[in-house]
Structure 1
Amino acid sequence: MDSATTIWLVAFFAVTFYIASMVAKITRRQQPTARRRPPPPVSPGVPLLGDVPALLIKGPSALIRDHYTRLGSVFTVRLFHLKLTFLVGPDVSRHFYQGLDSEMSQDEVSQFTIPTFGPGIAFDVDYATRHEQFRFFGDAMKPAKLRTYVSLMVGEVESHFARWGESGTVDLKQELEHLVTLITSRCLFGVAVREKMFGEVGTLLRQLNDGMRLVTILFPHLPIPAHRRRDAARARLGEIFTEIVRSRKMSRRNDDDDGNQQDMLQCLIDSRYKDGRGTTEAEVVGMLVAALFAGQHNSSSAGT
């Protein structure tokens, strides 16, 4: 077979393949699409800004209620470069809670938590690593472990309310935040650390919490005062917790059992990934910060 014939055969098969591909693509387009549902309605908002002006004027709750009334249970709003889809009500929100990570990825929207929790944990790592880190928390909070925390929790509650007088006025949210922080620090770190570090740690946690604002979701590294305080607080917490982790490891090596070896700190130190690798100091510190911050925030809000 000469070269000219070969070239013509190659060209013929290339053209045939191209035509077949185009026919297949047109056929797919013409197939019935009754099963495909349209995307959720998008709030028109303001050019470039989206719903940011309405969010700043009305607040999140009012904005969601207005869109729910006009657009239904599922709708999308635009905030600058972000598109956020809301699922309002149990009939539609179950898709979010029951969806697989491949369908409902949290990574993109949760990047704003990285400056607070720190590098190397949660949403700063791939899903497989994050899943294992969540398993570490799960192991530390199994029923058998939780039962060992009950007496510690009761002691903190009784001690806290014993300081109250017979009458007076309190900020309930602030009081519950304080109490939950007492409980979590006691269960996480043990009594020695709880007694020595609580004052400073409590202040630093409040600065972390203050650094989690609406603008943080959109621009987590924006150089505003609240973010600068957040970053300084996170750095200081890192220093404190690193010393705590090193001290605990040293006491374990020296067989110096101080009665704290069953708390969550020890569980995280002893945890291992599926490949046999142990947790690093930075990972344990980050997971402690995440546990303190998220646990205190969610529990005090629910309690209030």
Structure 2
Amino acid sequence: MSEILFQLDQLRKQVPIPVWYTALPTPVRVLFWVIALPALIIGLNVFQQVALPRNKSLPPIVFHYIPWFGSAAYYGEDPYKFLFECREKYGDLFTFILMGRRITVALGPKGNNLSLGGKISQVSAEDAYTHLTTPVFGKGVVYDCPNDMLMQQKKFIKTGLTTEALQSYPPMIRAECEDYFTKTLGISASKPTAKKVDLLHAMAELIILTASRTLQGNEVRESLNGSFAKLFEDLDGGFTPLNFMFPNLPLPSYKRRDVAQKAMSDFYIKIIENRRKGEKDHEPDMIDSLQGCKYKNGVPLTDRDIAHIMIALLMAGQHTSSATSTWALLHLAHSPELYETLYEEQKTLFGNPDGTFRDITYQDIKSCKHLDSVIRETLRMHAPIHSIYRKVMSEIPVPPSLSAPSEQSTYVIPKGHFIMAAPGVAQMDPLIWQDAKVFNPTRWLDEAGVAAAAVEQYSKSEQVDYGFGAVSKGTESPYQPFGAGRHRCVGEQFAYVQLSTIISYIVRNFTMNLEVPEFPKTNYRTMIVQPFDPYVSFTLRKQDV
């Protein structure tokens, strides 16, 4: 405080200071500067935006009062409202400030293609995400390696998801569902009363149980009720928006994340070592598939690489599938007629004369048209990730279709910006979808409708091999449930098997009621889009086949 006053006194000797200021008591002077300095900074920031000439080669910048902080509060609270309102003002291409980062947003199918279909010389997912994912997944995998290595790692994973493997999963998933609802939730014939459940918590547990049973191996599944569950919880605590924006804070949760990552990595390595010694019998799983894999240069995956890939599989799939299954079941609980439509479909396709059901198989899933339409509509309305970032590595000329023709032919996105795709905007765009905000699974049953055309464009567009096998590029489809381009999810088929089997089990065995007055609102403050207050009640269904 004395130093500040000394500097002001020195300034007074050079520049005349008003008498009224010198007459103020010291506390009042301090208060004056506490108010005046931020006001000056905000005023200069506003002046710069409204009065100074703008570089017309750059996309327009979203107006904001506070420098560095920018539009963080509005965007963070409701990104879709923010993005749709910005589109009304600025068009499909604009830049906003987010905690010191310049985020250039490219909306719509053409905008998604600019980012998700961009050349690796221009856009980098690794530089956008490695500070978040590497402390959680581990070094040497996913975004902590060159893109070519990541594509090969995806190929290794895809090789493990064979048709034979996928065919073996539904019985395992059904068994886990039966065990979870009977033992963990305590709903059985001997306890038929309604059970109120936090659906998001329940699905998070069930998704990790079924994923570990199918992909991770018996050793992981057997450890989920012990210390491994605590490690997962601590590691999951490092996968938040705070970690994304500020990766190196000296917080206890960051330390717990790092300790858990090392312990989980060592846990997987111990499994691999024991298997190598022949000390553990196991069914074929992803660990089995990854052992012996080699990169194109002949370098094999190390045990540590395999451990880190397994952590990445466990973490990435758990968040998206638990959110999607929760949203789907909430909509079914909110729409009893739709729920009964799915039940009648199960009865027709799989019902036995004695009132039981035969097990659903991998081949059966494609025949469940109403179930499939519910999953697709859920993914349309509730994209698990609302914003997908890439770091701009070299200037990106913007096609005229995304520029303002009245000003010039094209914009240029400078090196150092982040470019952001928001597939959820296209999936909820009223200019594309009729009644875009209405949950209407029947739109996917219309073979001549917008939904069918979007699926066609997503799954049967230009085929490209990015290094993990030919895949539909899909970057210009208005429906991108599993990403698009080189970073399209390789676990797409597994996710459909997992979601379809879990939802069909619930529909067959329980009735559901929403336990909140209105349909739950959306929580955008987490990395994966989730509902607030996702409470439902399950009641054991009386079989009437």
Relative to the length of structure 1, the TM-score reads: 0.77
Q: Which residue of 1 aligns with 2:248?
A: 221
2:125 pairs with 106, 109, 114, which one? 106
Q: Which residue of 2 aligns with 1:289?
A: 311
State yes or no: 1:141 paired with 2:168.
no
Q: Is the 8 A contact 2:275 2:281 kept in 1?
A: no
Q: 1:193 to 1:80 in 2, by over 3 A?
A: closer
SS of the residue 1:108 aligns to: helix
SS of the residue 2:103 aligns to: strand
Q: In the TM superposition, what is the alpha-carbon distance from 1:50 to its structure 2 partner? A: 2.5
One-letter amino acid matched to 2:303: E
One-letter amino acid matched to 1:116: V
Q: Provide the rounded CA distance (Å) in 1 between the counterparts of 2:167 and 2:120.
A: 31
Q: Is the 8 A contact 1:182 1:198 kept in 2?
A: no
Q: In the TM superposition, what is the alpha-carbon distance from 1:294 to its structure 2 partner? A: 0.2
Q: Provide the rounded CA distance (Å) in 2 between the counterparts of 1:192 and 1:289.
A: 14
Q: Which residue of 2 aligns with 1:250?
A: 277
Counterparts of 1:1-304 in structure 2, within 5 Å, are 38-45=57-64, 46-55=66-75, 58-111=77-130, 112-163=132-183, 164=185, 165=187, 166=192, 167-251=194-278, 258-260=281-283, 262-304=284-326
Unmatched segments (≥5 aa) in structure 1: 1-36
Count of residues in Structure 1 that have an aligned counterpart in Structure 2: 262
Superimposed CA distance per residue, residues 244-280 of structure 1 (whole angstroms, 9 cap, x where no aligned partner):
12112222xxxx67242x2011111221111222210
Q: Provide the rounded CA distance (Å) in 1 between the counterparts of 2:111 and 2:161.
A: 30
Q: In the TM superposition, what is the alpha-carbon distance from 1:77 to its structure 2 partner? A: 1.8
| Percentage of identical aligned residues | 27
Q: Pairwise CA RMSD of aligned residues? A: 2.4
Q: 1:169 to 1:81 in 2, by over 3 A?
A: same
Unmatched segments (≥5 aa) in structure 2: 1-55, 327-545
More strand by share: 2
One-letter amino acid matched to 1:243: K
Q: Is the 8 A contact 1:269 1:279 kept in 2?
A: yes
Q: In the TM superposition, what is the alpha-carbon distance from 1:297 to its structure 2 partner? A: 0.8
Q: Is the 8 A contact 1:185 1:198 kept in 2?
A: no
Q: In the TM superposition, what is the alpha-carbon distance from 1:64 to its structure 2 partner? A: 3.3
Q: 1:196 to 1:113 in 2, by over 3 A?
A: closer
More helix by share: 1
Q: Provide the rounded CA distance (Å) in 2 between the counterparts of 1:133 and 1:215.
A: 28
Q: Provide the rounded CA distance (Å) in 1 between the counterparts of 2:89 and 2:208.
A: 41
After the TM superposition, which parts of structure 1 deviate over 6 Å for at least 4 consecutive aligned residues?
none
Q: Provide the rounded CA distance (Å) in 2 between the counterparts of 1:279 and 1:233.
A: 22
